């Protein structure tokens, strides 16, 4: 929980908070007390003020609100409000009444943690979670005992729905899709359909008892909710099959496909709440302007491929030396790239200010470094997640597993070292900072050949200014001398870049373990680069890459052809395979992150 003073300061921020109280929204007084005492929430945010009364009314709802605006409590509070009113009281034998579907393990744990706090005074409502990678039999035992509010990742949930006969869900009333668009992007669409079928919660279908499917009538009053900061046309199908006459919150009328039957702004101010006449397509494909926190400072840095690594290290050094206490998250495209950079940054020693032995043995980046990706052991992921949450000053290197929903407090800067691809991912990655009205910076690395990506972001209402990298490089003294280089032909020729690159390359070449990590990272990075899809293939063209320069960005000295040949082979083979399987269109996100 944050300090009371910080919370008070935030409370006065009218862009973030509404001018009403939680109790005025209709929430039970004990729940309002919990929000205040356990969470430190004095007043609702705008999205909470708008959505909580609508969700309390029992309607199906689609919520689109910027990252870090409090969507989690928006859906949890009304559900808890209703559950604590049940008479007789809910018992464990009632099984699951509410199901929260999330895309990642970390988000699963985070939502579960919030539930534990909110349910402190409602001990008869039991929270729980199930997710891939956990011990199935332990989960089975927990399900058998009964979990009132269950947070789950889709694959594992489907597994238990199909195989765990003691999983009681006949009284299920709520299904929530948190980060709905991401759940679909990860390829869970089919699993979701099956889940809805098994739960008898699919709209426009007559539900019969068949096998392990259950019977449910409309009177059972299911209420389903879909939430994200980037609700777009991709969730149309999910909205169609899971929502009935949904109310839309935070979506601009002109971007919706379906004509609203009426619209009201109520007493809650400027944002729209729109009720829809029917459950046809709800979002048009032009609905692609994403809301970003207005205080977020967004920049890009243009770096030639061969100098990317030096650029990254220099920027990180500057960030942590400028402000000792801060948290930074850097995003990479693959697990191997995270592993390589994690080891490099944790071990690389060099002091550019002196030639003395002792000083040369100083770590270049002297901060705590963490890593997070999908190939790590479950236990390690959990430890990292908790450790980085509590750290005051640290650097987290991650794949997109950390891009969605995670609420690490006080992250000051987001670095996207590898491009996020889709604009939605850009929005969620930068959304790990500048949360709830706090300050935040973001920096996107682009090679000169990728600069058109800025136009792609512009189409989604995202605009960035350039970061002065050259000025930063000039500011580093090299062996006691400053290097202000006039008429520099290219950034690669800057003395600081040359010197650091040379030191990095000799470090890697003398450490076989590091060299192996670098080669693996290089190969998977190129593979990920070829996996961009649609319009983005025009911007991130593997043909435009100079593989020798890519190798340099992993501090590899090898002849480009040596490493490059095998990668070209792999890339071609992969593309052929994709064509054959008709998979060319689809980017395999899960294998990368
Ligand atoms: N009413 C409130 N008062 C103070 N803090 C709040 C309030 N509501 C939420 N918060 C805090 O704001 C932060 C962001 O909330 P949350 O993670 O729910 O945002 P989100 O909109 O779901 O973000 P994302 O889109 O990134 O998932 C959390 O630290 C949460 O504890």
pLDDT in tens, 252-288: 544 444 443 333 333 333 344 454 444 456 665 544 6
Using the mean position of ligand 1's atoms as its centre, give its distance from the Cα of residue 586 in Å.
32
> Residue range 470-491: average pLDDT?
74
**Whether residue 384 has pLDDT greater than 70:** yes
Q: Ligand 1 atom 20: the closest Cα is on which residue?
A: 68
Higher pLDDT, 382 or 350: 382
Using the mean position of ligand 1's atoms as its centre, give its distance from the Cα of residue 433 in Å.
12
Give the CA angle between residues 474, 478, 480 to the nearest 5°: 115
Among 333, 325, 345, residue whose Cα is nearest residue 401: 333
Using the mean position of ligand 1's atoms as its centre, give its distance from the Cα of residue 116 in Å.
16
Question: For residue 570, what are its two tokens?
Answer: 């792999």
C-alpha to C-alpha distance for 478 and 355, rounded to whole angstroms? 10
Q: How confident is the model at residue 13 (pLDDT cuts 50, 70, 90)?
A: confident
**Exposure on the CB side of residue 42, measured as CA atoms within 13 A:** 16
pLDDT for the residue 169: 95
C-alpha to C-alpha distance for 532 and 318, rounded to whole angstroms? 31
C-alpha to C-alpha distance for 535 and 87, rounded to whole angstroms? 55
> Residue range 15-32: average pLDDT?
95
pLDDT for the residue 297: 97
Specify the residue for token string 């705008």.
46
Count of Cβ atoms closer than 10 Å to residue 535 Cβ? 11
Is 435 touching ligand 1 by the criterion CB < 6 Å? yes
pLDDT for the residue 492: 87
**Exposure on the CB side of residue 526, measured as CA atoms within 13 A:** 29
pLDDT digits (tens, 9 = 90+) for 519-557: 999 999 999 999 988 889 899 998 888 999 999 999 999
C-alpha to C-alpha distance for 126 and 124, rounded to whole angstroms? 6
pLDDT for the residue 558: 75
Cα separation values, 225 from 51, 218, 292, Å: 11, 16, 22
Q: How confident is the model at residue 249 (pLDDT cuts 50, 70, 90)?
A: very high
Using the mean position of ligand 1's atoms as its centre, give its distance from the Cα of residue 69 in Å.
5
pLDDT for the residue 410: 94
Specify the residue for token string 């509070």.
77
Using the mean position of ligand 1's atoms as its centre, give its distance from the Cα of residue 298 in Å.
21
Q: Is residue 151 within 8 Å of residue 111, measured between CB atoms?
A: yes
pLDDT digits (tens, 9 = 90+) for 102-135: 999 999 999 999 999 999 999 999 999 999 888 9
pLDDT digits (tens, 9 = 90+) for 48-83: 999 999 999 999 999 999 999 999 999 999 999 999
pLDDT digits (tens, 9 = 90+) for 179-220: 998 999 888 989 999 999 999 866 544 344 444 444 444 445
pLDDT for the residue 267: 30
pLDDT for the residue 365: 86
* Mean predicted lDDT score pLDDT of the chain: 84
C-alpha to C-alpha distance for 408 and 6, rounded to whole angstroms? 16
Q: pTM for the full model?
A: 0.86
C-alpha to C-alpha distance for 409 and 546, rounded to whole angstroms? 39
Among 37, 22, 132, residue whose Cα is nearest residue 70: 22
Residue 69 CA: nearest ligand 1 atom is 21
Residues 6+ apart with CB under 8 A from 69: 16, 45, 46, 47, 229, 436
Using the mean position of ligand 1's atoms as its centre, give its distance from the Cα of residue 505 in Å.
43
Task: Look at strands 411-416 and 440-446 and give their pairing.
Answer: parallel
C-alpha to C-alpha distance for 45 and 436, rounded to whole angstroms? 9
Higher pLDDT, 309 or 245: 309
- Candidates 16, 24, 34, 70: which one to mutate for ligand 1, based on the most atoms within 8 Å of Cβ? 70
- Candidates 19, 403, 407: which one to mutate for ligand 1, based on the most atoms within 8 Å of Cβ? 407
Per DSSP, the three-state class of 86 is coil
C-alpha to C-alpha distance for 308 and 396, rounded to whole angstroms? 18
Using the mean position of ligand 1's atoms as its centre, give its distance from the Cα of residue 73 in Å.
7
Q: What is the DSSP secondary structure assignment for residue 372, as one 8-state letter?
A: E
> Residue range 397-425: average pLDDT?
95
C-alpha to C-alpha distance for 468 and 318, rounded to whole angstroms? 13
Give the CA angle between residues 364, 367, 372 to the nearest 5°: 110
Q: Is residue 362 within 8 Å of residue 350, measured between CB atoms?
A: yes
Using the mean position of ligand 1's atoms as its centre, give its distance from the Cα of residue 406 in Å.
10
**Whether residue 28 has pLDDT greater than 70:** yes
Is 71 touching ligand 1 by the criterion CB < 6 Å? yes
Residue 17 CA: nearest ligand 1 atom is 1
Cα separation values, 182 from 7, 25, 90, 177, 185, Å: 30, 30, 32, 10, 5
Is 69 touching ligand 1 by the criterion CB < 6 Å? yes
Respond yes or no on whether ipTM tops 0.90: yes
> Residue range 5-21: average pLDDT?
72
Is 72 touching ligand 1 by the criterion CB < 6 Å? yes
Is 181 touching ligand 1 by the criterion CB < 6 Å? no
Is 44 touching ligand 1 by the criterion CB < 6 Å? yes
pLDDT for the residue 478: 73
């Amino acid at each position: 929980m944050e300090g009371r003073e910080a919370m008070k300061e935030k409370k006065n921020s009218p862009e973030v908070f509404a001018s009403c109280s939680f109790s005025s929204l209709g929430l039970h007084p004990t729940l309002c007390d919990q929000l205040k005492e356990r969470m430190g929430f004095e007043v609702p945010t705008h999205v909470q003020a708008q959505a909580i009364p609508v969700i309390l009314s029992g309607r199906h709802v689609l919520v689109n609100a910027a990252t870090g605006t409090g969507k989690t409590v928006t859906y949890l509070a009304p559900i808890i409000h209703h559950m604590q009113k049940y008479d007789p009281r809910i018992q464990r034998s009632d099984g699951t009444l509410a199901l929260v579907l999330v895309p990642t393990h970390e988000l699963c744990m985070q939502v579960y943690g919030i539930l534990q706090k909110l349910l402190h005074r409602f001990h008869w409502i039991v929270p729980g979670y199930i997710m891939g990678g956990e011990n199935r039999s332990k989960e089975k035992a927990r399900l058998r005992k009964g979990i009132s509010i269950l947070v789950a990742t889709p694959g594992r949930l489907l597994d238990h729905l199909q195989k765990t006969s003691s999983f009681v869900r006949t009284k299920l009333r709520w299904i929530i899709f948190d980060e709905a668009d991401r759940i679909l992007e990860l390829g869970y669409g089919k699993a979701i359909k099956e889940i809805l079928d098994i739960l008898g919660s699919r709209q426009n279908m007559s539900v019969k008892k068949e096998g392990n499917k259950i019977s449910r009538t409309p009177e059972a009053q299911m209420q389903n909710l879909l939430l994200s900061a980037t609700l777009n046309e991709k969730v149309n199908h999910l909205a169609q099959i899971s929502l009935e006459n949904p109310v839309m919150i935070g979506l601009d009328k002109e971007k919706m496909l379906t004509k609203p039957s009426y619209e009201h702004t109520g007493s809650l101010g400027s944002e729209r709440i729109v009720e829809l006449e029917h459950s046809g397509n709800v979002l048009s494909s032009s609905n692609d302007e994403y809301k970003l926190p207005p205080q977020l400072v967004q920049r890009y840095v243009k770096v030639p491929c061969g100098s990317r690594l030096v650029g990254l290290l220099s920027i990180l050094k500057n960030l942590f030396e400028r402000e000792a206490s801060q948290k930074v998250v850097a995003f990479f495209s693959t697990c191997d790239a995270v592993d390589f950079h994690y080891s490099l940054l944790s071990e690389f020693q060099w002091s550019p200010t002196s030639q003395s032995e002792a000083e040369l043995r100083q770590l270049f980046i002297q901060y705590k470094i963490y890593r997070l990706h999908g190939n790590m052991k479950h236990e390690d992921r959990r430890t990292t997640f908790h450790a980085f949450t509590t750290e005051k000053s640290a650097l987290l290197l991650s794949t997109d597993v950390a891009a969605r929903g995670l609420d690490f407090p006080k992250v000051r800067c987001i670095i996207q070292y590898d491009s996020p691809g889709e604009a939605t991912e850009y929005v969620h990655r930068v959304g790990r900072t500048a949360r709830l009205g706090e300050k935040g910076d973001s920096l996107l690395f682009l090679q000169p050949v990728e600069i058109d990506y800025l136009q792609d972001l512009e189409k989604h209402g995202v605009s960035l200014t350039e970061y002065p990298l050259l000025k930063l490089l000039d500011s580093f003294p090299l062996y006691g001398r400053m290097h202000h280089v006039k008429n520099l032909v290219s950034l690669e020729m800057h003395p600081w870049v040359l010197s650091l690159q040379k030191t990095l390359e000799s470090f890697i070449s003398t450490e076989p373990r590091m060299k192996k990590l670098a080669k693996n990272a290089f190969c998977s990075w190129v593979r990920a680069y070829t996996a961009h899809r649609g319009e983005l293939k025009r911007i991130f063209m593997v043909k435009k890459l100079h593989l020798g320069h890519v190798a340099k960005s992993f501090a590899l000295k090898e002849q480009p052809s040596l490493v490059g040949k095998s990668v070209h082979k792999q890339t071609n083979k992969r593309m052929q395979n994709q064509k054959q399987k008709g998979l060319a269109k689809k980017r395999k996100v899960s294998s990368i992150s």
